[in-house]
Structure 1
Amino acid sequence: MAGTEHTVTLEADGPARSGRAVVFAADGAYLRYAAFAAAQLARLIPARDFDICLCGPEMPEAVPGLDGLGLRRCRVTTGDMFDRLGLDPRRSAASYLRYALPEAFAAEYGRLLYLDADVFIQGGDFGALLSVDLGAHPLGAVRDNMQWRTPRRRTPSYERLGLPWASVFNSGMMLIDVSTWRERDVLGRMLAFGAAHDPARVGLDQDLVNAVVRGGWAELSPVWNWQYTWASRLFEALADAHVVHFIGPRKPWSHDGGELPLRFRRAYRDFFAANFPEEPVGPDGVAPLANRRFVGRMLVKHLLSLGKLGAYLDRFPDDLTVLA
């Protein structure tokens, strides 16, 4: 890795079977949610030309119920690489692990599609996505939802750092061209930038990578990272989102307050009952339409944002459109 003395190491339970991969990186309990998404993808595309990797700072546990899905378990270690980035409960070393994956897999994969653990995979041609042309950019991603309706909005981290406006992406899904990422030394620049600035001004890992890439990324359709908020969830089905990303604090496996469709919670409950019975997902809880005030506010928000969100979606004639 140019410009740094840090070492990233890789240990895997088997060899790579392809030249590209969909990868998840998490630790602790979140590895189980990553396993859920990885299993969804494996069952969606049983005959695939890419690997699916579950990565963690420790070797992910083997799950007998997933043995036949062809998932590759990987341990990626980074030592003290991220210690100077102001780590805290929201900025753990594990949250930065995704940015070390191109270094870890450099000898095996030319393309990586990173996905967060809190995603729900519903469809899409992932093989085709892994092949799209990113031009000269090190990565492709989906615009952060704060800029879906207001594209000229400057992020709070950019304001704190005195940076001019730039489009910003949500780092819960990144399509990475490994060679270009390494040539641009994205990881090394992140470490240098983070060490040179007050962590409170930089913000979270997503703020840091955006500050370094600074608009130099290829924009992908939001169907690959539909950031599921109270202001966008009703449009998800109409947009035919392939990947639903639960970006807020309300997760289907833990939230029972009636603000998420029960189909998500039930899918996690079935998966955990079969594979992690010691970590059960509880009963349904409040019915989704029981909170009339929330539903009414959500409907009004969707109606008011219809024009702006429609204009944003119109920029992508199909799900493989790349705006470079």
Structure 2
Amino acid sequence: MAFEVTTNRAAKARRAVIFCVNEAYFPYALLAASQVRALCASELADIVICAETGEIPASLSDLDIRLARLTLEGQTADMGRLDQKETVTYHRLFLPHAFKDDYDRILYLDSDIFIERGDFARLLEVDLKGHVLAAVRDEVQWFNPERDAHDFRTMGIRGKKYFNAGVLIINCQAYRDKDILSKALDANRMFRDKLKHNDQPLLNAALRGEWLELSPVWNWQHARRFPMLTATVPVGITHFIGKAKPWNDPDSLLPPRYSMAFQHFMARHFPDRPEIKISSGCDVSDATLGRQALRSWWHARKITRYLKRFPDDLVAKE
């Protein structure tokens, strides 16, 4: 496989937090990067943004971002139904190979996230016990671990745990040694036109449940569905799965504090971009609040039982 990586500077650490984004998501990756940097010193980990285009504003130069352009000769052409803008999501499949001379461990993050708290230095050092990666279960298995993910059923894989690929701690050497990339690309060639998601099921298919599970606080996927329950959980990373995003929430499905934070960041660092509309918040009628309270009560016992599997949220479980 042919890779070409061009960067604006050399690596400064053996650990990296990496985002893979297109031009539209570039500023949102920078917001997340600024939140990471506030929680993890530069000597402990590089922050890398893989993007085709994008320029870091002078106002964010202190973040010391490593910009990278990843060229995959003859690879993205085989990604089937995706247009060129969408192929960037597949770049995370190639990161342990593309940066094999630079990083021993990678924390991959999607850019549609909001970082609330967390010891990212310790997160990068989580004991992977020889496994390729650690991740958080996809939300389809939070309340029913036996439920098969849709794409797994399509691929004929049953009874395996299934992770959300928005937050991944990757052991780069193990990833290469176990040939995860080739296995994922084989799955893509076989199923690419039948899958609901992009590269997430490919990674899951390559690992078939052989990965370590992180506490859901590192990839909290319920910011919209259970707002009251979310307020009681010590969330580290909120992940805005689905169509509602802090920068595009016309139905005001997300709590307004997220759109307010994104609006402030964009106005300060990307003033030429369209202004983000602040969410008016969820309907606060008595009926809506009652439904939210009932839903939170209904799921509280299950989510509490799930969280108790992780008495230390910096220990990954088999």
Per the alignment, do residues 192 and 260 of structure 1 end up closer, same or farther by CA in structure 2, a change over 3 Å counting? same
Alignment-derived partner of residue 97 in structure 2: 103
Counterpart selection for 1:34 from 29, 33, 39: 29
2:198 maps to which of 201, 204, 218: 204
The reply to whether residue 286 of structure 1 matches residue 280 of structure 2 is yes
Distance 2:187 2:161 in 1: 19
* Gap change, CA 1:30 and 1:295, over 3 Å in 2: farther
Compute the displacement of 1:124 (Å). 0.7
Asked if the contact 1:26–1:94 (Cα under 8 Å) also holds between the matched residues in 2, the reply is yes
Q: How far has the Cα of 1:230 moved from its partner?
A: 3.3
Aligned-partner Cα distance in 2 for 1:147–1:90? 31
Shift of 1:198: 5.0
Correspondences of 1:139-154 after superposition (within 5 Å): 139-154=133-148
One of 233, 237, 248 as aligned partner of 2:231: 237
How far apart, in 2, do the equivalents of 1:20 and 1:246 lie?
A: 25
Tell me by how many angstroms 1:188 deviates.
Answer: 1.3
Is the 8 Å Cα contact of residues 54 and 60 (structure 1) preserved in structure 2? no
Q: Which amino acid aligns with 1:146?
A: V
1:54 partnered with 2:74: no
Unaligned 5+ runs, structure 1 = 1-5
Match for 2:69: what amino acid?
Answer: R
Please give the alpha-carbon distance, in whole angstroms, between the structure 2 residues aligned to 1:322 and 1:121: 19
Q: Alignment partner for residue 5 of structure 2, among 4, 10, 14?
A: 10
User: Which residue, 125, 128, 153 being the options, matches 1:131?
Assistant: 125
Alpha-carbon contact 1:141-1:171 (below 8 Å) kept? yes
**Mapped partners of 1:238, 1:193: distance in 2:** 39
CA distance in 1, matches of 2:301, 2:84: 34
Q: 1:19 is matched with which residue?
A: 14
Shift of 1:291: 5.7
Tell me what 1:156 maps to: 150
Paired amino acid for 1:260: L
Identity %: 35
Cα drift, residue 234 of structure 1? 2.7
The correspondence for 1:247, drawn from 241, 245, 249, is 241
Task: Supply the AA of the counterpart residue of 2:302.
Answer: K
Give the paired residue count.
318
Contact 1:269 1:280 in 2 (8 A): no
The equivalent residue for 1:178 is 172
2:114 pairs with 112, 117, 120, which one? 120
Residues 202 and 279 from structure 1, CA distance in 2 versus in 1: closer, same or farther, beyond 3 angstroms? closer
Q: Aligned equivalents of 1:270 and 1:91: distance in 2?
A: 26
Q: Are the equivalent residues in 2 in contact too, given 1:90–1:204 (CA < 8 A)? A: no
1:139-187 deviation per Cα after TM superposition (whole angstroms, max 9, x unaligned): 1001111111111001111222221210000000000000000111111
Q: CA deviation at 1:305?
A: 1.2
CA distance in 1, matches of 2:265, 2:224: 25
Q: Scaled by the length of structure 1, what TM-score is found?
A: 0.92
| Alignment CA distance shift 1:192-1:122 (3 Å) | same
Shift of 1:90: 11
Report deviation, 1:59. Answer: 4.6
| Distance (Å, rounded) in 1 between the aligned partners of 2:224 and 2:281 | 16
- Report the residue type matching 1:68 in the other structure: D
Question: Is 1:317 matched with 2:314?
Answer: no
TM-superposed CA distance for 1:50, in Å, is: 0.9
1:112-148: CA deviation from partner (whole Å, max 9, x where unpaired): 0000010111211111111111112111001111111
Cα offset for 1:196? 2.5
How far residue 286 of structure 1 moved from its aligned partner, in angstroms, is: 2.5
Distance 1:300 1:50, change over 3 A: same
What whole-Å deviation, never above 9, does each CA across 1:196-249 have from its counterpart, x for those lacking one? 235214742211211121101111111111113433443333221111110111
Instruction: Give the direction of change, closer, same or farther, for the CA distance of 1:91–1:134 in structure 2 (3 Å limit).
Output: farther
Range 183-192 or range 195-204, more displaced: 195-204
1:273 to 2:267 alignment: yes
